Amino acid sequence: MRKFSERVERIAVSGIREVFEAAGDDAINLGLGQPDFPTPEHAREAAVDAIRSGKTDAYTANKGIAPLREAIAEKHRRDQGIDLDPGNVVATAGASEALHIAIEAHVSAGDEVIIPDPGFVSYDALTKLADAEPVPVPLREDLTIDPAAIEDAITEDTAAFIVNSPGNPTGAVSPEEDVREFARIADEHGVLCLSDEVYEYTVFEGEHRSPIEFAETDNVVVVNSASKLFSMTGWRLGWVYGAADRVDRMVRVHQYAQACASAPAQYAATAALTGDRGFIDEMTDSYERRRDLLLEGLADAGIDCPTPRGAFYAMPKVPDGFVEACLDRGVVVVPGDAFGEHGAGYARISYATSEEDLREAIAAMADAHRAVS
């Protein structure tokens, strides 16, 4: 008789993918979190040059090529003012693998991991795959993560808590005082703070800060990625960093799960990190215009939505049947409960699409809202 592992039976297909695959080819997809900008040309050319020169024909070091890790360290020194040793950086197959190896390296069977609810779909699933128990913590009304709620949820079984700012699916940006509290909680309780910072450049209001800037211990590990920062989702290149002993354990998982990140992607990401950064501001300005267009359209339709201050997601409150009604009208949005129990009554909208498509989608969503209200 065929038998599957209990771990895999505890998880399901991502709700994001379910909605995406249910849509027709002509649907306007506001479901996937994928930038609609091209990868910068200098990054593409770096990959092509590396392929032609034969640099990509062999495995790289487990942690990644030295120029990439040096570029990542320099990026975080410049942006966050932290003294990051390139030896404490691991290049991964996207932030997805970075989250996986971080959780596998720090969490044992029966441990608890505190996660935001609603929160990114991988947090719950990866915790379960580690034979641990996710502990969902509901967000504030403005959809930010409350440090006090995290601290209240800590027990003797807590191994880690995950924070994400700017947030997916919410677009919320944690203020500096909260980020300082995340660091304090990790320090005082001796638990890992796993900080997911893949949208750090996409901030419209406020400022991105990282718990690792304020931590007095080594209890913070940071995950990041070229996917959203440089519009490189298909390249699958992320990274994770932390203290040397934490990195050592993460590499132990990484070397068997992945061996090394894609070599062409490593050379492309190195160029993206070290080359002209003007396109980052252009992307952010475009996302902000689209956000404002979406918020205005939702308000005109009578749909309440907390103002997203970063990333490229909005999470409005919606009535039952709204997601299905949108799909009937050729627009894909994701039901909020795909991101956790407390996401029920919301929908996630990705506005990483053209303004033309967004205007058409807004009209369809307004009609859908009228139909189910």
Q: List pLDDT tens digits, range 298-331.
A: 999 999 999 999 999 999 999 999 999 999 999 9
The last residue of a domain, from among 256, 274, 292: 274
Q: How far is the C-alpha of 265 from the C-alpha of 178, rounded, in Å?
A: 34
Q: List pLDDT tens digits, range 339-367.
A: 999 999 999 999 999 999 999 999 999 99
Residue 151 shares a structural domain with residue 296: no
Structure tokens at 20: 């995406």
Residue 103 shares a structural domain with residue 83: yes
Q: Which residues pair with 203 in a beta bridge?
A: 310
User: Is residue 328, in this structure, part of any structural domain at all?
Assistant: yes
In the chain, the number of structural domains is: 2
The last residue of a domain, from among 274, 294, 314: 274
Q: What is the pLDDT of residue 13?
A: 78
User: Is residue 1, in this structure, part of any structural domain at all?
Assistant: no
Residue 325 shares a structural domain with residue 192: no
User: Is residue 222, in this structure, part of any structural domain at all?
Assistant: yes
**152 contact partners, CB below 8 Å, separation of at least 6:** none
User: Is residue 200, in this structure, part of any structural domain at all?
Assistant: yes
Segments of the chain scoring below 50 in pLDDT: none
Cα angle 273-275-280, degrees, rounded to a multiple of 5: 70
User: Is residue 35, in this structure, part of any structural domain at all?
Assistant: yes
Residue 139 shares a structural domain with residue 236: yes
Task: Give buried/exposed letters for 213-230 (b at 16+ CB in 10 A, else e).
Answer: bbbeebbbbbbbbbbbbb
Are the CB atoms for 85 and 73 separated by under 8 Å?
Answer: yes
User: Is residue 149, in this structure, part of any structural domain at all?
Assistant: yes
Q: What is the pLDDT of residue 20?
A: 62
User: Is residue 56, in this structure, part of any structural domain at all?
Assistant: yes
Among 124, 122, 116, smallest CA distance to 140 is for 116
Residue 201 shares a structural domain with residue 308: no
Considering just the CA atoms, what is the radius of gyration of the chain in Å? 20
User: What is the distance of C-alpha 257 from the center of its chain?
Assistant: 20
Structure tokens at 118: 């609603």
Q: What is the pLDDT of residue 174?
A: 98
Residue 245 shares a structural domain with residue 356: no
**Domain, as residue range, for 311:** 6-39+278-372
HEC readout, the chain: CCCCCHHHHCCCCCHHHHHHHHCCCCCEECCCCCCCCCCCHHHHHHHHHHHHHCCCCCCCCCCCCHHHHHHHHHHHHHHHCCCCCHHHEEEECHHHHHHHHHHHHHCCCCCEEEEEECCCHHHHHHHHHCCCEEEEEECCCCCCCCHHHHHHHCCCCEEEEEEECCCCCCCCCCCHHHHHHHHHHHHHHCCEEEEECCCCCCECCCCCCCHHHCCCCCCEEEEEEHHHHCCCHHHCCEEEECCHHHHHHHHHHHHHHCCCCCHHHHHHHHHHHHCCCHHHHHHHHHHHHHHHHHHHHHHHCCCCCCCCCECCEECCECCCCHHHHHHHCCEECEEHHHHCHHHCCEEEEECCCCHHHHHHHHHHHHHHHHHHC
Q: What is the CATH number of the domain that holds 352?
A: 3.90.1150.10
Residue 197 shares a structural domain with residue 293: no
Residue 210 shares a structural domain with residue 297: no
Q: What is the pLDDT of residue 32?
A: 85
Residue 127 shares a structural domain with residue 222: yes
The last residue of a domain, from among 248, 274, 300: 274
Q: What is the pLDDT of residue 15?
A: 65
Q: Are strands 192-196 and 158-164 parallel, antiparallel or unpaired?
A: parallel
Residue 259 shares a structural domain with residue 349: no
Residue 220 shares a structural domain with residue 368: no
Q: What is the CATH number of the domain that holds 144?
A: 3.40.640.10
Residue 230 shares a structural domain with residue 342: no
pTM over 0.85: yes
Q: Which residues pair with 31 in a beta bridge?
A: none
